[in-house]
Amino acid sequence: MVFKRKYPKPDLSEEDLNKLRRIRSSMKEEKRRVTRASIILDYLEDYSDDRIAARNGMNKNTVKKCLSKLREFGMEAALNDLPRPGKPRTITDDDKSWILNLACTKPAEHGYPDELWPYTLLTGHIRKNRSSLKNISRSTVFEILNEAEIKPHKIRYYVEKRDPDFEGKMATVLHVYKEVDMINNGFIIPELKDTITVSFDEKPGMQAISMTSEELPPVPGKYPSATRDYEYKRLGTLSLLAGIDLHSGIVTETVSRTHNSNDFIAFLKKLDSSYPKDKRIRVILDNLSVHTSAKSREFLLTVPKGFDFVFTPKHG
């Protein structure tokens, strides 16, 4: 029985009909295109929606949806899927530049107490202050910054070269170490035959502590190592001054409760007494003020053979 429809049939050419027939009989076409071509051809044969659904093994709503696209958008639209909404919007170069610039500022400049930008805070600030990025995700922010090799949540430390003579002093120190290496390998450097080279450093503010109870030894099956009570008694701080003989490896050290010129002089006296009087001591050390104080310089004048100080570059 011919089914009378309330919508007029679409005006398809013979070429369109042949295309539909080829698709329906094809073994290579996508199944959904084969099914839709069959729906359209059945529709043109005046089958009802129920009959078309039964012939093609589908529900009636699928038939109606296909035919609705045919009437509104034409045959090609009915055969294929319509463009889907909700495709992620591309972030513009301006937006990316804005994010990178923001990440290179400090949170405090924008009213936050944080020292660095946690990604959650940064993403929230971007959403609130850039309308075009109000839906940006934390992962997208990370990808943009990672591509630019910016890590606003981390700190790296550097040493600023404040010494205008940095290069020269560095070369001098390296030259001294090279001389030591040559001497230790049997080379004879006449002008250094009576010179001992010592590398010196100090560690002030070392915390001195003592246990409040005895240390317990290991116990088989119970305590694999020695154990101590977590409480301890503070005994103040100490300063360690030490120098290592770069030829023999022998260490000379002093420990004191203070860290001043007197302590440095005490170390030099101990170092001087460790070697024969005909030996000149060359000391590699940093630029701490006590090393060049008036009191330290006065002491150096009293040492017969004297000390040669080789200073490392300042702050670097």
CA distance 102 to 99: 5
What tokens were used for 222?
């119970």
pLDDT at res. 194: 92
Residues pairing with 248 in the sheet? none
> Which regions in the chain score pLDDT beneath 50?
1
pLDDT at res. 212: 83
Cβ count within 10 A of residue 280: 16
Q: Where are the beta strands (DSSP E) in the chain?
A: 195-211, 232-245, 251-256, 280-285, 307-311
CA distance 311 to 287: 6
